[in-house]
């Protein structure tokens, strides 16, 4: 995994807390995992023009970068960074 930026989270549902990157990716055998999406309903509209991808619990999977719209990916990343910085400081 390769991450950029950092924030400290604390779960409201459990005692879990820790540090995580703001955005990141992980090149894997079957797909590239992109950790760039908040998952909140207010940001789902950003996905409609992204291109060919599948979703995991905490990431977006793409087979190759040419399958997605990189300008849309930049918008998703910007929205995610702004959201996480606002929420966690």
Kindly list the domain boundaries of the chain, sorted by start residue: 2-88
pTM exceeds 0.85 for this model:
yes
DSSP 41-89: GGGGGGGTTTBS-EE-SS-EEES-GGGB-HHHHHHHHHHHHHHHHHHH-
Residues shown for the chain:
89
pLDDT at 85: 94
Strands 32-35 and 23-27: antiparallel
Q: How high is the mean pLDDT in each 10-residue block of the chain (89 residues)?
A: 94 90 95 93 92 92 96 96 92
22 with 85: CB under 8 angstroms? yes
Q: Distance (Å, rounded) from C-alpha 25 to C-alpha 9?
A: 19
């Amino acid at each position: 995994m390769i991450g950029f930026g950092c924030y400290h989270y604390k779960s409201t549902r459990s005692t879990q807390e820790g540090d995580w990157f703001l955005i990141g990716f992980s090149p894997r055998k079957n797909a590239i995992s992109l950790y760039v999406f908040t998952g909140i309903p207010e940001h789902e509209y950003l996905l409609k023009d992204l291109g060919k991808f599948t979703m995991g619990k905490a990431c977006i999977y793409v087979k190759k970068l040419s399958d997605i719209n990189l300008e849309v990916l930049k918008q998703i990343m910007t929205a995610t960074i702004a959201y996480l910085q606002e929420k966690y400081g």
